Chain A
Amino acid sequence: MNAAQHAVAVAGLVVAFTVTTSGQKPRKDIDERSLTALQTWVNAVKTHTPGRSDASVVTAAAFSYETREDLNTVVGLFLTALMGWTYDTEGNKAAQAIVAMGHASGKDFLKQAAVLHSDVAAYADLHPVQSGTATKAPARRTQELQLGRGGKPEIVPLEEPMPPLLRADRVLLDKDGQVVGEVVSTWNWPFARSLLDLLSAGPRKKIFSDGRPERATDPFVAAWYHATTAYMFASGLYGDATPHLHHASMVLPDDALAVFDRGCYAEILGLPMHQALEPDPDAGRRARASGGAPTWTTPGSEPALRIPPAEQTNAEAERLFRRALAIDPSLVEARVRLARLLDLRGRHEEAGAELEAALAQHPTGAVAFFAHLFAGRAAHATGRSDEAARHYQGALDIFPDAQSALLAASHLALTRSDVPAALVPVAHLGARSNAFTADPWWRYHLGAGRDAEGLLTTLWAVVPAKLP
């Protein structure tokens, strides 16, 4: 497992703000470099094929910090024109050229740009994004995850926001339960979010506002957030997911899937994979010796890790799953995950009832597997051994090699003092596949990430056609 793919929720994470530069009035000193940067970016957006690691992805990934500074100077004016809002070019020819580009682009450009930048982030393993932050732009801690009132995890601002194009957020890397380093997160996610914010911005909204974004009304935004969140979960990019989902909570407060994703994230933070995290004092030395991660560390400082206790993250997850179900009662996976949390906290009967309701909706695949597995545990806990055995068998009927269900069945047999029956599932372990797909429990922390590829493919299919 690649440590570089496992950023975690830590202090130093930021949330995105809308596009921000120096103001609405164009600067008089727009130079050739800024114009070139804008033209390069606009061209990359317009020629990008969604989902492809094409020349546009290569171009955007290669943007240096200086290029982004140049782009940041003029992108506000471009977007103001794109939105059809008022502007004042004061006879500035360069500004007029930018406005003309903006007028020629239209709002579909924002969707295309958001997809380009999410693709740049996704293809970072092929085309590393130039952060240039270690010396050019010291990472700034603008927000951090803290426990707020009532013990709920909240993201709290610490300093003033930075323009998303210049964002240099730090996230910690973990590997197998240990913090192994720290890297600069990509600027592409916050930039993409800020572009999509414009789709819902009112006519008087300032492009450069750092205020709360408007609620999204375009279904594309919901699809983009769900697909990109799934990608982050699938890739272990929890550090990126923190501000991503916080932003989603503002633009999609009543979207069942967005609420579900937030519930999954809170639940994931409560899993041992996060609760067990701790700094590894040898990480730097070992990484240097192996020539691998971490790629960027803070000399002489311990990584700051603040993950709320499981009791609090689980309570938050329960609240969000209940809310998602209130919005969309057919969201069966929310019910199944809610039941796991209830069972975990000793509310076995409630869990059993939720799982019975979930199974009545005839889920399939991994969701059905989880429903049976959790129902088995809830039944076992309340002494209904035969029912537990049936559910474990139900899980094994779907995923015969699943270690979790095999061990659950074995443990149930052992507690019934049936040693021969306890040994049968264990014997199967030696012959089964170790592939991650063999046991959905191994991927439980992925949430919607299990379906990331399908969700992204669906998203790419609805991106507006290329612009001229």
Chain B
Amino acid sequence: MTRRLALAFALLPTLLPPAGPDVQQQSFRSGTLGVRVDVLITDGRKPVAGLAAADFEVRDNGVRQSIQLIDAADVPLNVVLTLDTSASTSGTRLADLISASQALLDGLTSADRVALATFSHAVNPRIALTADLGSVRQELLRLTAEGRTALMDATYVALTTTLAQPGRSLVVVCTDGSDISSWLRTEDVIESAKRSNAVIYAVASANARQSSSLHELVDATGGSILRVSSAADLRGSFQSILQEFRSRYILAYVPTGVPPGGFHRLDVRVKRRGLTVTARPGYVGVESGK
């Protein structure tokens, strides 16, 4: 049952149970009729496996929801690699970044898709979501470093890449510096993240100024930031991101008892004590007809 439901969410959203007249279509649901939440459960720093739907409790704007657990292994991934190729990444940093990206591609399955975007001051959506990993590998070898850094603009573009796409979306943003060139402000991108179902993992230089905006952004999606002290650590970081993302749970529900539209505060809990829950804090719902 779980397996079939997962496929329904991913590929055939109209096969889900029919929604009532007031059920909203949340824009971050990737075109499905329901809400889907990526949840990471950890014991200390170690992901916890083997939990069932009954172990979770989800409240949408304070109203407890009837949830289903989707087998994450059956839902293909959309990975959006968003790489900083500004001038400061020139030399070994860029080489290590490319190597790390190749390592992440090694961890994908044939059902997964990947998109590649690079950014300096200009955001360059190089390859749209594709299962042709070879084309992405080739494109990685063509990267050069120049220009300034427009991190927020790039993250926004990465988020839009995942809109209206089936599957689970992981945005990996890697940067070695601070945003100095974006038009979009952090609050704009956070607001957009609440309308997407993507989870953002950021990989940032440990030397870069600690930016609260990047923290706010990844927190809004239930993701996290990995700080690397040298470019040589990138490879391991990229691999661990993929590993951690695959260990997350997917909870799904059709919202009941809450009005559509506006911001929905999510409260995800796990019944076993001592575990840490990481999930998006909420989403923006859309009223019927929009």
Contact = CB atoms under 8 A, between A and B. Distances in A.
Contact of A442 (B121, B146, B188, B207): B121
Interface of B, secondary structure class, is loop
Interface of A, secondary structure class, is helix
B124 A430 contact: yes
Nearest to B188: A411
A175 B87 contact: yes
Contacts of A441: 183
Interface string B161-194: 1011000000000000111111110001001100
A418 B164 CA distance: 11
A56 interface: no
Q: How large, as a class, is the contact surface on chain A?
A: 35 or more
Task: Give the most central of A280, A417, A434: most B CB within 10 Å.
Answer: A417
B183 A430 contact: no
Interface stretch (A100-108, A199-207, A257-265, A269-277): A269-277
B144 to A, nearest CB: 11
A429 B207 contact: no
A1 interface: yes
A177 to B, nearest CB: 5
Contact of A276 (B122, B123, B161, B179): B179
Nearest to A408: B183
A329 interface: no
B177 A177 contact: yes
Nearest to A344: B185
Given A276-B180, A280-B207, A422-B160, A286 B124 contact: no
B156 A407 contact: yes
Nearest to B91: A290
Interface stretch (B37-45, B51-59, B147-155, B234-242): B147-155
B123 A403 contact: yes
A290 B182 CA distance: 28
B27 A419 contact: yes
A289 B91 CA distance: 10
Interface string B72-108: 0000000000000011100100000000000000000
A429 B27 contact: no
B88 A419 contact: no
Contacts of A420: 164
Nearest to B160: A426
B178 A272 contact: yes
A286 B122 CA distance: 25
Nearest to B163: A419
Contacts of B180: 176-177, 271-273, 276
A373 B183 CA distance: 10
B273 interface: no
Contacts of B164: 419-420, 423
A436 B148 CA distance: 11
Interface in A59-73: none
A337 to B, nearest CB: 15
Interface in A169-191: 175-178
Interface residues of B, number: 40
B290 interface: yes
A281 interface: yes
Given A419-B164, A429-B123, A281 B207 contact: yes
A423 B160 contact: yes
Nearest to A401: B122
B125 A276 contact: no
A415 interface: yes
A407 B153 contact: yes
A177 B124 contact: no
B286 interface: yes
Contacts of B272: none
B179 A430 contact: no
A400 B182 CA distance: 18
B87 A286 contact: no
Contacts of A276: 177-180, 209
Contacts of B181: 272-273, 442
Contacts of B209: 276, 278
B36 interface: no
A426 B125 CA distance: 9
Interface string B259-290: 00000000000000000000000000010001
A415 B125 contact: no
Given A1-B148, A407-B183, A442-B121, A176 B207 contact: no
Interface of A: 1, 175-178, 271-273, 276, 278, 280-282, 286, 289-290, 373, 403-404, 407-408, 410-411, 414-415, 417-420, 422-423, 426, 429-430, 434, 436, 438-439, 441-442
Given A272-B179, A442-B181, 10 more contacts: A273-B180, A276-B179, A278-B208, A282-B207, A403-B153, A415-B191, A420-B164, A422-B160, A429-B123, A439-B122
14 contacts: A177-B149, A177-B177, A273-B180, A276-B180, A278-B178, A278-B208, A373-B183, A403-B123, A407-B153, A407-B157, A407-B184, A411-B156, A417-B195, A430-B124
